Structure 1
Amino acid sequence: MSNMFQEILAFILTTSGWVLVSSTLPTDYWKVSSLDGTVITTATYWSNLWKTCVTDSTGVSNCKDFPSMLALDGYIQACRGLMIAAVCLGFFGSVSALVGMKCTKIGGSDRNKAGITCFAGVNFILSGICSLSACSLYAHRITSEFFDPMFVAQKYELGAALFIGWAGSILCILGGSMLCFSIADSFSESHRQVKYIYKGTASHSHIASYPRGQQQSANQRPPPDYSNSSRTQHFDKNVYV
């Protein structure tokens, strides 16, 4: 029963993490222009993995999609690939976890369900690693440009999408690890049950190996009767005659 509750909790964590990771792809604010050293702000620049935008002082935003995928910087291409891989792995992990959980009636035997749940846990862990790598790579590029004194272009700060992606990645990794540990516990429990059944079967076959009427063990045989001792002998009255 504890393994079932652990699987349910792990499924909630991993699904929530996958939803957060998926929501970072359409989120606009991956990086926002820095206001450090500026007194009057006339425009705010922000961008994500797909477009770059500017918002003026009146609140009107103008966006421009990246014109060419091959002309993009390498880190943006890498972040795109990692985030798409994270979303796909999380989707397959969610379906596999739903099939392999003990509280569902699909997936076959307990051994098959355990393998499917372990596969789901590995998928969630890989999804969290991919998302964590993408957000960290993007954040590293922003911070390196911000603290570079030789960089004279527009400097940016970390956007809200990066923090959402980090939170979703941690939930995916944590939930996937819980799924894998729940499978390890169930395997050890089933091994103990099989061992107990094997011992019971072996003892039963050992008792049944005796012939009929001789199944009583040597330790349970009745003690010998010493009431008629050999020292007490009854002779005929004419034995000395």
Structure 2
Amino acid sequence: MRLCMFQEILAFILTTSGWVLVSSTLPTDYWKVSTIDGTVITTATFWSNLWKMCVTDSTGVSNCKDFPSMLALDGYIQACRGLMIAAVCLGFFGSIFALVGMKCTKIGGSDQNKARIACLAGVSFILSGLCSLSACSLYAHRITSEFFDPMFVAQKYELGAALFIGWAGSVLCILGGCMFCFSITGSFSNVSHVTSFPKGQGVSGHSRPAPQYSSSSKNQTFDKSEYV
């Protein structure tokens, strides 16, 4: 019981930390940064995230421009936005389910109900980690494909810090969610099973006495048969 409780507490710490990292990734500026490979003098640094594109000059002054239209964006940016928002929402609901389903809390009902809620929290965190992992990987794939494409002549970028933070948070959410799912195995081990008794025995295990017939009933039967 204590081991399962400690496992749930550790899973809650991992998943909450991962959810905080994933949530902080969404507004982080540096999703991609302009590369300095092959350049001798760098006068400006270009960087962008899911919401805006900025440039920072040599004096440290940044000028940013928000993406003017959501429908005019590239498909991968729209997909990353949707996946990251879904990851944050799933992690929020997973945190609520985890607080209700943990054995160290006094809400949620019986142990079996709390185990089901904890399993639901684990599934929510796993889905949250997968959404964040997919978004960061999709964005990184676009950056690396443009960087290693010799025919791409526009500004090339490198992976920003936000992608690494998102990957770390995704791994923590997935690990913690799996621990939540594995922690419910002990809650269903004490389920009552129907016990079958041998024929002629009751619930207490004693044999049922055979029906007794009185001698008077036998004599009455024989007396009736004599007059037939």
Structural mapping, 1:31-46, within 5 Å? 31-46=32-47
Q: Given the alignment of the two structures, is residue 133 of structure 1 paired with residue 141 of structure 2, yes or no?
A: no
How many angstroms does 1:184 deviate by? 2.2
In 1: Cα distance, 2:132 partner to 2:190 partner: 35
Percent of residue pairs bearing the same amino acid type? 83
Corresponding residue of 1:67:
68
Corresponding residue of 2:219:
none
Q: SS of 1:170's equivalent?
A: helix
Are the equivalent residues in 1 in contact too, given 2:90–2:127 (CA < 8 A)? yes
The root-mean-square deviation of aligned C-alpha atoms, in Å, is 1.8
Corresponding residue of 1:233:
none
In 1: Cα distance, 2:3 partner to 2:67 partner: 50
How many angstroms does 1:56 deviate by? 0.1
Q: Given the alignment of the two structures, is residue 82 of structure 1 paired with residue 86 of structure 2, yes or no?
A: no
Residue correspondences, number: 205
Q: Which has the greater radius of gyration?
A: 1
Gaps of 5+ in 2: 210-228
Corresponding residue of 1:190:
190
Corresponding residue of 1:95:
96
In 2: Cα distance, 1:151 partner to 1:206 partner: 83
Gaps of 5+ in 1: 212-241
How many angstroms does 1:109 deviate by? 1.1
Corresponding residue of 2:55:
54
Post-superposition, which runs of at least 4 consecutive aligned residues in structure 1 deviate over 6 A?
Answer: none
Are the equivalent residues in 1 in contact too, given 2:33–2:46 (CA < 8 A)? yes
In 1: Cα distance, 2:101 partner to 2:11 partner: 12
Counterpart of 1:55, as a letter, is T
Are the equivalent residues in 1 in contact too, given 2:22–2:132 (CA < 8 A)? yes
In 1: Cα distance, 2:23 partner to 2:172 partner: 13
Corresponding residue of 1:10:
11
Q: Given the alignment of the two structures, is residue 150 of structure 1 paired with residue 151 of structure 2, yes or no?
A: yes
Are the equivalent residues in 2 in contact too, given 1:76–1:138 (CA < 8 A)? yes
Are the equivalent residues in 1 in contact too, given 2:111–2:187 (CA < 8 A)? no
Corresponding residue of 1:123:
124
In 2: Cα distance, 1:72 partner to 1:204 partner: 72
Q: SS of 1:206's equivalent?
A: coil
What are the Cα deviations for residues 31-54 of structure 1, in whole angstroms up to 9, with x where unaligned? 000000000000000000000000
Q: SS of 2:183's equivalent?
A: helix
Are the equivalent residues in 1 in contact too, given 2:25–2:163 (CA < 8 A)? yes
How many angstroms does 1:204 deviate by? 6.5
How many angstroms does 1:186 deviate by? 2.4
In 1: Cα distance, 2:115 partner to 2:183 partner: 9
In 1: Cα distance, 2:6 partner to 2:153 partner: 55
In 2: Cα distance, 1:118 partner to 1:104 partner: 15
In 2: Cα distance, 1:91 partner to 1:10 partner: 15
In 2: Cα distance, 1:113 partner to 1:203 partner: 35
How many angstroms does 1:174 deviate by? 0.3
Q: SS of 1:8's equivalent?
A: helix
Counterpart of 2:140, as a letter, is A
Counterpart of 2:167, as a letter, is W
In 1: Cα distance, 2:47 partner to 2:22 partner: 20
Corresponding residue of 1:224:
none
Are the equivalent residues in 1 in contact too, given 2:112–2:187 (CA < 8 A)? no
What are the Cα deviations for residues 82-119 of structure 1, in whole angstroms up to 9, with x where unaligned? 00000000000000000010000001111111111111
Q: SS of 1:72's equivalent?
A: coil
In 1: Cα distance, 2:203 partner to 2:47 partner: 76
In 2: Cα distance, 1:151 partner to 1:204 partner: 81
Q: Given the alignment of the two structures, is residue 166 of structure 1 paired with residue 167 of structure 2, yes or no?
A: yes
Are the equivalent residues in 2 in contact too, given 1:3–1:182 (CA < 8 A)? yes
Are the equivalent residues in 2 in contact too, given 1:3–1:186 (CA < 8 A)? no
How many angstroms does 1:210 deviate by? 5.7
